[in-house]
Amino acid sequence: MCGIIAYLGLQDAVPILIDGLRRLEYRGYDSAGIAVQVDGITQCVRAIGPLSALQKKLSTIELAGNTGIGHTRWATHGSVTEANTHPQQSNDKKISIVHNGVIENFQSIREFLSVQGFQFQSETDTETLANLISYHYSKELESPTQDRFLESVRKALLHVRGTYGIAVLCSDRPNEIIGARNSSPLVLGMGKDEFFISSDVCSFAQHTRDVVYLHDNELVHITGDHFKLITLDREAVEAVRHEVDWDTASAELNGYPHFMLKEIFEQPQAIENALRGRISGDLSSAHFGGLQMTDEELHKINRIILCACGTAWCACLVAEYIIEKFARIPVEVEYASEFRYRNAPLDQQTLIIVISQSGETIDTLAAMREAQQRGLRVLAITNVVGSTIAREADGGIYQHSGPEIGVASTKAFTSQICISILLALHLGRLRDLSFDDGIEIVEALKKLPEQVESILLQSERIRSIAMRYKDCSDMLFLGRQSMFPIALEGALKLKEISYVHAEGYPAAEIKHGPMALITPQCPIFFLACDDHVLEKIQSNMHEVQARGARVIVVAQENSAIHANAANDIIFVPQGHSAVNPILATIPLQLFAYHMGVLRGHNVDRPRHLAKSVTVE
């Protein structure tokens, strides 16, 4: 969940490290620090709070060197203090390390090291690892080798249980960096006379697009002008180089006040990208190049399990409704964090589909691996080319949404739904979905970008609505059928961005408990975009209004909703039932965004949250 950047080259390391950390801010953090090798000494500078606090400290220090590591920390072990901020150093200051992940057995390692005379200045598991490396580095003196530094890191990691992505410096070894990963992303970047190690390619993509993605239990050792890869078992690994197709300009604000608003407005293009090249020639179906499954194999599937976390889990719920309706295949949706520990009965005709924007979500990755361990085929829907989930899945579909920097997912969510519709269409046409029904869905999908654009034009009006509710402390979101997952997503967005307590429910469930919460201070959002249950939704609206609730409605143009049926109505274009969840989502994203801004919050980096959850 934290951000790692390391640099070795001919340039001054500090500006490169700071720029890399700036580009990693979106991942979420509470403190930051760097360590740079200067004249045989590793100098470490750390600060709690925003990156600007670290930059202020650095402005008073002369720190010139061409090898260094940097980190933005999201606290796991230990509170938010300077002592707990990374980089962490060993007792003798020879070893400096930045670390993403969790060392599960750090307490027993710490006890062992305490007996050996090591002392600890922080509460972190990372300092324990720094001292363990130092311990093995000292032991290597007994039989010194050219790879003493590498061996000390490798041997230390053999004792570690847990997850890690690390970059390590040794003051005895100038112009050397060691990186290693286990279930926490790490990528090596190779430029002209320079190398980068990072948890995310966005941190150095402006310098090079030539990368190597590390796999679990691999180490990379950079020495001067070359590098080598080995496993924890000392086996040599041949580097597989990739060229990143990544537009660095897309990770800039480009005139928008926040990344979240920029990415909300990028949704027409993101939807077009999701559709491009995936409509069949007869315009009645969809096709994909990366599923790695024949039509015959897909036709034999008798059950689908969708796994994800957070917003992607809400996308899975929408997919459940759409796939069951149009493909007539039973679908279950699981939180990946629960599925990975369950012993669910599974048969070989069950298809697992995981959804993850980053492709690095640790629970989703673990769920995928558990399913594969049990002999099931796993497909992935993900946005990041080269991510761990993308590489390890048996097949998959890339979203091509472009980088999503805002912590709260927007364009990735609607893209995931769009791809789910295409998948339902493909599976449905392999079964009993008619040609004419397929044509209707394709036509609806092709209209989507323009329809979304028309909703975005209502941004200022939605802001005026948010102004009326910005002081509320609670809100309910209600919908039926495929609008229920959108209610959940709308509530999640509001919680994430504005810190207003919000809950989503199936509208009929209002009478089974939530009705007790209704007051004029608890507004209710109704999603009324499903015509065949519209009368039921209207009945629910009357019930809450009779109890004093203020009502906001998202409804389709030309809807039978009466103007006096709600305090505020946001109209969206008339759409096919398959695409209505996407159309209903856009107003909720804009509402959450404006609520967050009006309440004075940093909507791109909400408190306590991280973009990519890579620790349990």
Q: Phi and psi of 602, rounded to 5°?
A: -85, 100
Which residues belong to the active site? Answer: 2, 611
For residues 425 and 326, the answer to whether their CB atoms sit within 8 Å is yes
Query: In 470-512, where does DSSP find H-type helix?
Result: 483-498
The secondary structure of 385-407 as a DSSP string is: TT-HHHHHSSEEEE-------SS
The secondary structure of 311-339 as a DSSP string is: HHHHHHHHHHHHHHHHH---EEEEEHHHH
Distances (CA, A) of 358 to 107, 189, 354, 612: 31, 18, 12, 6
Sheet-wide strand order for 164-170:
88-89, 95-100, 164-170, 176-182, 218-223, 226-231, 236-237
Distance CA 578, CA 571 (A): 18
Distances (CA, A) of 201 to 30, 68, 185, 209, 486: 21, 17, 10, 8, 31
Burial (CB < 10 A; 0-12, 13-18, 19+), residue 541, is: buried
Give the number of other CB atoms < 10 A from CB of residue 185.
26
State the helix-helix crossing angle for 435-456 and 580-598, rounded to 10 degrees: 20
Task: Tell me the longest C-alpha to C-alpha distance in the chain.
Answer: 84
